[in-house]
Structure 1
Amino acid sequence: MPDLNPDLVNQLLRERRSLYPAQYTGEPVDDAIIKEMLENANWAPTHRLTEPWRFVVFSGEGLKKLAGFQSELYKEVSTREGKFDQGKFEKLATKPMLASHIIAIGMARDPKASVPEQEELASVAMAVQNMYLTAAANNIGCYWGSGGVTYYEEAKPFFGLGPNDKLMGFLYVGNINKEKWPKGRRKSIDDKVTWVG
């Protein structure tokens, strides 16, 4: 085991924040940081080594493709259901442009592994936490959103996911004004823990 500094680990964990696209500067994030985030995601815990996380990274012109796909799919599905909202359509068509990169988060099932789905979902969430922490260590803003087309079955093929897989949302990534890194807010851990001993 390497000689790690617990104080630095504690600081990183406690300084991580969800930072939203409206807070981003518009300056692109270096692809090397995105690749480091993805590599660290790959080291998340995984039962039976199924490694269920799947990511699609959108940047540059890819952000326009994502924006067009999700806004048009929303329009199609919501119109069919009689729930179309022009404001939501416009938000889906423009919000991706606020980010430097957007990482679609997927969970791919391994039918041979017979691992409970909740364990696979937890593995993907831990992979995303690794990306969050890597972003924070690089003073980069991150936000995991699960709105828009996340729960549309029709969206899965666009992200390379099959019918038994899950689209778990989108990680928005962007540079931020480092002087505006927000203070954290958490209630005491004592209210959430019972010790038995």
Structure 2
Amino acid sequence: MDIFELIEKRRSVFPEQYNEEPILKEELDKILATANWAPNHRHTEPWRFKVVQGEIKLKLAEFILEKNAEWEENPSSFKRKKILSKFEQSHTVIAICIQKSPTGKPPEWEEVSAVAMAVQNMWLACTALNIGSYWSSPSFINLVDDFFKLKEGESCLGFFYMGKFDGELEEGKRKSSIHSKVEYFTD
């Protein structure tokens, strides 16, 4: 499959679609290596990843549930179940983090963009390897800092849930063609 097909094939594949087949260490290493090739201004390489699997993954889910209960006075049982099931159904969860520049240069938006490009590289690699994945930035994401003991200037932007899946994915859709979103300015 060429790069154009791969980009068009990329989809969000959610934890309820994952099967129990493990993601191999070699696959995970390959996926993470693609992140390191994302473009970034001033070679800051601001992406940081916390890979969580096995029992630690469930401890993270419990930690989030406890913190969320403190933050939200009375979280619904539906929300609790939804949070927990994402972690239980995923083989691997990666906390997507950013290490911000202490000087503020490049600006934070450029650093966040670089992290997003690193995640897109991972997402495309997952697609090529038939591994389902999706990025979620839940409202409680700031609650995980203590779990990971993040360094100064480091913060979490979301979770990248991953798992193998069976079957075919739906074909991609866009509301309109690229032509309706582009203006050309030429001589």
Same fold (TM > 0.5): yes
Gaps of 5+ in 2: none
Partner of residue 167, structure 1: 156
C-alpha distance in structure 1 between counterparts of 2:157 and 2:33, whole Å: 19
1:133 aligns with 2:127: no
1:184 aligns with 2:172: yes
- The amino acid of 2:9's aligned partner reads E
1:27 aligns with 2:21: yes
8 Å CA contact 2:134–2:160 kept in 1: the answer is yes
Write the deviation string for residues 29-78 of structure 1: whole angstroms up to 9, x where unpaired: 11211111111101111111111101101111121111111111111111
Gaps of 5+ in 1: 1-6
C-alpha distance in structure 1 between counterparts of 2:144 and 2:52, whole Å: 15
1:72 aligns with 2:63: no
Structure 1 runs (4+) greater than 4 angstroms displaced: none
- The amino acid of 2:110's aligned partner reads E
1:91 aligns with 2:87: no
Partner of residue 101, structure 1: 92
Write the deviation string for residues 99-129 of structure 1: whole angstroms up to 9, x where unpaired: 0100000111121462100000000000000
C-alpha distance in structure 1 between counterparts of 2:30 and 2:7, whole Å: 17
Partner of residue 4, structure 1: none
SS in 1 for 2:68: helix
CA shift, 1:25, in A, is 1.2
1:48 aligns with 2:42: yes
SS in 1 for 2:102: coil
1:12 aligns with 2:1: no
C-alpha distance in structure 2 between counterparts of 1:33 and 1:194, whole Å: 40
- The amino acid of 1:58's aligned partner reads V
Partner of residue 110, structure 2: 119
Number of aligned residues:
185
- The amino acid of 1:185's aligned partner reads K
The structure-2 alpha-carbon separation of the partners of 1:70 and 1:21, relative to structure 1 and needing over 3 Å to count, comes to same
CA shift, 1:131, in A, is 0.2
8 Å CA contact 1:75–1:89 kept in 2: the answer is no
RMSD, matched Cα = 1.6
8 Å CA contact 2:102–2:153 kept in 1: the answer is no
